[in-house]
Each structure stands twice: as C-alpha cells, then as structure tokens.
Amino acid sequence: MKRMIFTLKHWQVFILLCSPDVINVFLWQASFSIGTVTALQISVFSGVTTIILFFSWITLNPQVDC
C-alpha cells in the first residue's frame, strides 16, 4: 500500500515536471483521486483543447512560418 502511494506521488511529480501549464496538473491530480477513466477523459479533452487552441493561434497569426 505504501509503495502504491509512493508511485502515485511519483507520477504526480513526473506530470508536474512534464506539464507546460498548471491547470493541466490540477486536472491530472483531480483525475488521480477520481479514477483512471476520468484521467483518460481529461487527457483526451485537454489534448483536443490544445489542438483547437494551437490551430486557432496559427489562424490568427498567419505570419508564423511553419
């Protein structure tokens, strides 16, 4: 049981280090306490949101050369 708690804390730290924004970390921490299905839903949702924001940013900034 202690090992499992350590693993969860380790993953939270890992996500905290790898995540670009703080809101994403809060969503992930909430999803860890709720369950894996919610974690998957939140990751898909944030992924789709990021893609939408990215494409809208490119659309609003046509001078950016990819």
pLDDT tens digit string along 10-63? 666 655 555 566 667 677 676 666 676 666 777 788 888 888 888 888 787 766
DSSP classification of residue 20 = S
Q: Where are the domains of the chain?
A: 2-60
Q: What is the pLDDT of residue 46?
A: 84
Question: What's the predicted TM-score (pTM) here?
Answer: 0.32
**Between 3 and 27, whose confidence is greater?**
27
**Between 64 and 42, whose confidence is greater?**
42
Q: Is residue 65 scored above 80 in pLDDT?
A: no
End-to-end CA separation in angstroms for the chain = 49
- Angle (nearest 5°) at CA 13 between 4 and 37: 60
